[in-house]
Amino acid sequence: MMLKDISKQMLTTQLRELEQDGLIERVIYPEIPPRVEYFLTPKGKALIPIMDALKEWADEFLLKDVSAREIV
């Protein structure tokens, strides 16, 4: 997954929303420097087959005539 053009604030906002919706879990490790990891919850994992199907559909119908440069 490419995130080069997303700001830290936007990434933080999106992660918080996913956490509030119960799709991901945030784990903070008491280390220096601080470290945080995110994991899919069972609710989030339930979306994997749906997202896979959506990707297959997009590959077949939306991305057929699009160059790699246009996708990124």
Quick: pLDDT tens for 35-54. Answer: 999 999 999 999 999 999 99
63 within domain boundaries: yes
25 within domain boundaries: yes
Full residue range of the structural domain in which residue 48 is found: 17-68
Helix runs in 1-72, H state only: 8-20, 42-45, 48-61, 68-71
| Main-chain dihedrals φ then ψ at residue 36, nearest 5 degrees | -130, 140
pLDDT score of 3 more than 70: no
1 within domain boundaries: no
In whole angstroms, what is the distance from residue 8 CA to residue 16 CA?
12
11 within domain boundaries: no
The pLDDT tens digits for 8-28 are: 899 999 999 999 999 999 999
CATH number at residue 45: 1.10.10.10
10 within domain boundaries: no
In whole angstroms, what is the distance from residue 32 CA to residue 59 CA?
42
State residue 64's pLDDT score.
Answer: 73
47 within domain boundaries: yes
Q: What is the tally of structural domains in the chain?
A: 1
* pTM (2 d.p.): 0.73
